[in-house]
Amino acid sequence: MVLKKWCRNIVLGWLCMVGMQGCGVFELIDDDLSVCGTDFEMVVRMQLQTNLDLELQTVLYAETDLQTRTILHDYFSHIFTDHAHDISIGFYDTTKDELVYSINEVIDANQSTYTFFLPKDEYHAIALANLKNNGIATLVDTLSSRQVRLTTPVQDTLLTQQTGLFATQREISVIDTADQCIDLTLHMVTSALALVIDTTGVTVHGITACMGPTVNSMMLRDSLFLYDHPKIIRMETIDPNISASAPMAKRAQVEEESYHMALLGSASFPSAETPDANDVYYEAKVYVSMTDGTITETVLSVHEPLRAGQLKVLRLQLQPDGEVVPIEAPEVGASVTLDWKNGGEHNIEI
C-alpha cells in the first residue's frame, strides 16, 4: 500500500559538482568525454506489503474483538508503515567494490526524488530506510557492497525494534547520454508477533514473554538473512488504554470494566526459513507469575516461519494454573512447566 504524494526534488550539489569543461572534478586525458557521467535522477519509493489488517481480522474476527484489533493496529502502526523517517543510499562501483557516493537524509515521506551527478560506470545501489530510531539494528561495514549489513547487539536477548526497517538493492548502469531516471523500491524486512491472552476469571500477578530465535543480521547486497548468532526478543506489554483510535470515553470504559486481555508484542528480524529437528521455526515463551509466588512457563512452538513484513497473532486462553492454551491455532504446539525455576537460560524479568 503505497500512498501517492507529489515527490520533492532535492538537488544534492554538495555531493558532486559538475565542472564547466570536460568532466569537471574528474581527471581526464585530452577531455575524453567517453568517461564522463550524467545527471542522474533517482526516485526512492517505499512499498509496504504486509498482512497486518488481514491477520488481525482473521484471528480476531468476532465483534467483541473490535477493541483488541484497534489496540494492536495502533500499537503496530509505526512498524507497518510506508512512511520513511530517514533514508540511506550507497553507490558502489562494481570493479573495485568501493563506496563512490552516498545519501543520508531525513525525508519524513513515503517517496522522494534525488537529482545528482554520477560518473559513467556500473554500480550496486543499496538503500535502507527507518534505521535512525530503530534502537536495535545498526549498519556496519558500509565501505564494501559485499560486506555492508544490518546487525544486532552481541547479547543473546534483545528488546523489540522500534521502527519497521525497509531495504533494497539493485545494479544500475550510468551512461553519458540523456538524463536517466531509476526507481529504487524498498521492501519491509521487519516482522512482528503479538500474543492475545484472555485472562477472564483468572487472577495473576503478572505476565511476561519472549520469542525467538530470530535471525541476527542481514547482508544487504544479497538480501540474505544470517542465523549464525540467533536472538531471543523480549516482548513488550501493550497498554490497552493507549489506543489512539479509540475515543476517550471508550478507553475510560475499558479501564472501568477491567479489560480481560493481556497483550504482548514485539518487532524483530524474521525467524529462520528452515525449521529445527522438531519442525519448529520459533517459540514464544510465556511466564505467568501466580498469586502463590510460583511461576508457570508455557512454551508455544510455532510450526511455520515468521517472515519479513509479516505480523503473527497468537490467541491464547489463560488457565487457573497459569498455563496459556492456543485457541484455533493448529500450527502451534504447547508445553507447560508448573512452578518453573529460572535456570539461567534467559534473563526474564517477572
pLDDT digits (tens, 9 = 90+) for 181-233: 788 889 999 999 999 999 999 999 999 999 999 999 999 999 999 999 999 99
Name residue 266's amino acid: S
Q: Please give the full DSSP string across 119-168, using - where no structure is assigned.
A: -SEEEEEEEEES-TT-SS-EEE-TT-TTT-EEE--SSSEEPPPSS--EEE
State if pTM tops 0.75. Answer: yes
pLDDT of 247 strictly over 90: no
CB 266 within 8 A of CB 211: yes
Burial of 239 (0-12, 13-18, 19+ CB in 10 A): exposed
Rounded to an integer, the average pLDDT of 151-156 is 96
Higher-confidence residue: 14 or 254? 254
pLDDT category of residue 246 using cuts at 50, 70 and 90: low
pLDDT at 179: 66
| Closest to 39 measured CA to CA, from 57, 16, 9 | 16
Percentage above 70 pLDDT, the chain:
81
Rounded to an integer, the average pLDDT of 168-182 is 80
SS3 (DSSP) at 283: strand
pLDDT, tens only, 309-326: 999 999 999 999 999 999
| Closest to 326 measured CA to CA, from 312, 340, 308 | 312
Average pLDDT in the chain: 84
Cα–Cα dist 283/345, whole Å: 14
Cα–Cα dist 221/169, whole Å: 6
pLDDT category of residue 36 using cuts at 50, 70 and 90: low
List CB contacts of 26: < 8 A, sequence separation 6 or more: 35, 36, 37, 119
Other residues' Cβ atoms within 10 Å of the Cβ of residue 248: 8
pLDDT, tens only, 81-138: 888 999 999 999 999 999 999 999 999 888 888 887 888 889 999 999 999 999 999 9
pLDDT, tens only, 64-86: 899 999 999 999 999 998 889 99
Q: Residue 150 has which C-alpha cell?
A: 544490518
